[in-house]
Amino acid sequence: MAKRPKARMRRPDGPNYTRRPQPKPKDGERAPSENGNVLKIIPLGGNEETGGRNCSVIQYGRELLIVDMGLQWPEDDMPGVDYIIPDVSFLRGKEKDIRGVIITHGHYDHTGGVPHIIPTLGNPPIYASDLTCAMLQKKMEDIAPEKKLRLNKVKSRDRIKLGAFRVEFFALSHNIPGSLGIAVETPAGRVVHTGDFKLDLHAHVSNRTDIETIKQIGDKGVMCLMCDSTNSYAPGHQVSEEEVEKNVELMFSQTKGRMIVATFASLLSRVQQILVAAERHNRKVLVEGFSMKTNIEIGKQLGYIRCKPNTIITWEEAQKMPPHGYLILCTGAQGEDNAALMRIANREHKYLHIERGDLVVFSSSVIPGNDRAVSRLKDGLLREGASIIDSKMLDIHAGGHAKQEDIADLIKLLRPKYFMPIEGNYGSLLENKQIAIRAGVPENNNLIADNGQVVEFHSGQGYVTSVRHPIEYVFVDGLGIGDVNALVLRDRKQLAGDGMIVVIAQINTRGGKPGKIDVISRGLTHMKEQGRFISGMIAVVKKSVADKEPRMKPQEKDLRDKIRRDLEKFVFQRTHRQPMIVPVIIEA
């Protein structure tokens, strides 16, 4: 039986490269409706990954509503990439039909694409809570200060009309204040989008779930519930912030030395808990990390962070105090190389380092993919003499995502006709589907779509169509957006894996005979100890460029290709490595 050929994609800027095949059609997929006034939902990101580039489009007729525009952190095999943003090529040419962009909360996986994408879509109006708006404004000032966003502040129970869409906002608990769910009323039915959520009736009032409004929306009738799947594999209910607060208090009362608390810069509810506990136990707080300082200032301005004027201190003040007199509140709980905690652990911080007897508290969950970095960080802290507490030892962190029983409770409150899992890899989406079935949603009314796949609702019926809009990774690398593709990543991985050889060959244009030849290598071998190896490479290059027909002028491209082929063969035979080879021809 013949082997099935690999799926390939041709790009105008380079040769073919291998990519993953298109997903297989799912059972129950249907052809799209020919009726123009159909309600459509198109996930542009977030449905094939956990915690990344969340972005969905709700469409009725020609009118479009975008929900969230997040980023995704790069994988290990994406060297040099800063982050990935949603592919919105589907929206090109439809800018005038975009009625608005709704951002459910301020985390990067829901906001990170805004500064890059919004200007390319005609700068449509953005609707978000006050904290989310402030964070978006700050991010835009950092990335593109000359451009302004059209920000509109909304709060729970607000209602707005955006073309064919009537949008109602309701508060949901998450681990950042100002998190909102939305109910979008269209002529074809009501769609509820949760964003990231958990159900917490004991959280601070600024972060509490608005159960009453959710019940009222359910009573009006819900055609489809788009539901967060991040924690769908976890049984039970999510830990309440009230429980976390008790454990934070216990930790403070039992700690005699210096404390270093690491958490997400955006987790302002945890920051507030730490500040309150520090004041109660007569400790000052030294804040480290640019994003942490920025978010605390924003939180103070909006009233989400409240503390005494002298609670937060400078290093000059801290160094005059005994270790038990202050704590360090910093970023870096995910093991990020340049974050404050990693620099402290590696003794690379300007003035802070670990002292024997320090207690380091990880008040965060580990993002998938960061496990090894966090493990290395903890090892380094322990070697320096610190003790460690994390959420596995004590409930000092409550995840921001609903567990199975929370999701089931929300489904029972809203009673949707159709259930669409979002925000998770395929396994998480399937787990969420099973929760919905147990909560009473018929199996055939669970709609799972891939990124770019269109879901339609027509005449009261919902179904996943066979239409898939192409979705590619859009890489952000420094100031470049989308200029790094699979070809560039392939070259970077080759450089990282096997190094590079640059060959500089002088060629006599009249006789075609080789002149001086230089070989420069990086990342392949220690060249000073490889005299014979270098001499061998030079001999191969001389043979490659020797002109067999001196009366004809050699073609530079042909010479480069021949040098590359011959040298690749020679190097592989000697080293079993495949470095990148860059021939440079100089006519003399």
Q: In this predicted structure, what is the pLDDT of residue 24?
A: 62
CB 205 within 8 A of CB 306: no
CA–CA distance from 460 to each of 31, 39, 413, 456 (Å)? 16, 10, 21, 10
401 carries an active-site annotation:
yes
Alpha helix segments (H runs only) across 75-224: 108-111, 114-117, 130-143, 211-220
Q: How far apart are CA 180 and CA 210, in angstroms?
A: 10
Q: In this predicted structure, what is the pLDDT of residue 394?
A: 60
237 carries an active-site annotation:
no
Q: How far apart are CA 52 and CA 49, in angstroms?
A: 6
- The amino acid occupying position 181 is G
CA-nearest of 437, 429, 447, 470 to 50 is: 429
Q: How far apart are CA 253 and CA 125, in angstroms?
A: 48
DSSP character string of 244-269: HHHHHHHHHHH--S-EEEE--TT-HH
Q: Which of the residues 105, 107, 174, 401 is marked catalytic? A: 401
CA–CA distance from 207 to each of 235, 241, 400 (Å)? 23, 10, 11
Q: In the numeric block, which tokens belong to residue 540?
A: 């191969």
CA-nearest of 171, 173, 165, 359 to 259 is: 359
Sheet holding 480-481, edge to edge: 83-85, 474-477, 480-481
Q: Which residue has the tokens 């952190």?
A: 73
Q: Which residue has the tokens 């020797």?
A: 546
CA–CA distance from 49 to each of 71, 88, 169 (Å)? 11, 17, 26
Q: In the numeric block, which tokens belong to residue 270?
A: 């945890």
Query: 312-317: which pairs have CB atoms within 8 A and are 24 or more residues apart?
Result: 312/275, 312/284, 312/285, 312/286, 312/287, 313/284, 313/285, 313/286, 314/286, 315/286, 315/351, 315/352, 317/284
Q: How far apart are CA 372 and CA 267, in angstroms?
A: 23
Q: Which of the residues 68, 130, 228, 477 is marked catalytic? A: 228
Dump strand ranges (E) for 104-211.
126-128, 151-153, 159-162, 165-171, 180-186, 189-193
CA–CA distance from 436 to each of 196, 231, 416, 433 (Å)? 17, 14, 10, 5
CB 281 within 8 A of CB 215: no
CB 57 within 8 A of CB 100: no
- Segments in the chain below pLDDT 70: 1-27, 76-77, 203-206, 368-369, 393-397, 478-480, 482-486, 509-513, 526-529, 547-554, 588
CA–CA distance from 588 to each of 516, 552, 564, 584, 585 (Å)? 10, 16, 21, 13, 10
Q: Is the pTM of this model over 0.85?
A: no
Q: In this predicted structure, what is the pLDDT of residue 208?
A: 82
Q: Is the C-alpha dihedral spanning 420, 421, 423, 424 positive or negative?
A: negative
Sheet holding 189-193, edge to edge: 159-162, 165-171, 180-186, 189-193, 224-228, 418-422
Q: How far apart are CA 337 and CA 375, in angstroms?
A: 13
Q: In this predicted structure, what is the pLDDT of residue 478?
A: 67
Which residues does 421 contact at the CB level (< 8 Å), separation at least 6? 227, 229, 232, 428, 429, 430, 432, 433, 436, 446, 448
Q: In this predicted structure, what is the pLDDT of residue 7?
A: 34
Q: How far apart are CA 321 and CA 278, in angstroms?
A: 15
Q: In this predicted structure, what is the pLDDT of residue 453?
A: 95
The three-state secondary structure class of 471 is coil
Q: In this predicted structure, what is the pLDDT of residue 553?
A: 56
> What b/e readout covers 519-530, taking b as 16+ CB neighbours within 10 angstroms?
bebeebbeeeeb
CB 494 within 8 A of CB 475: no
Q: In this predicted structure, what is the pLDDT of residue 8?
A: 33
- What structural domains does the chain harbor? 36-236+399-481 (3.60.15.10), 243-390 (3.40.50.10710), 499-587 (3.10.20.580)
Q: How far apart are CA 197 and CA 454, in angstroms?
A: 24
Q: In the numeric block, which tokens belong to residue 19?
A: 């990519």
Q: How far apart are CA 438 and CA 162, in angstroms?
A: 35
Q: In the numeric block, which tokens belong to residue 113?
A: 């694409």
CA–CA distance from 347 to each of 121, 352, 361, 532 (Å)? 45, 7, 18, 43
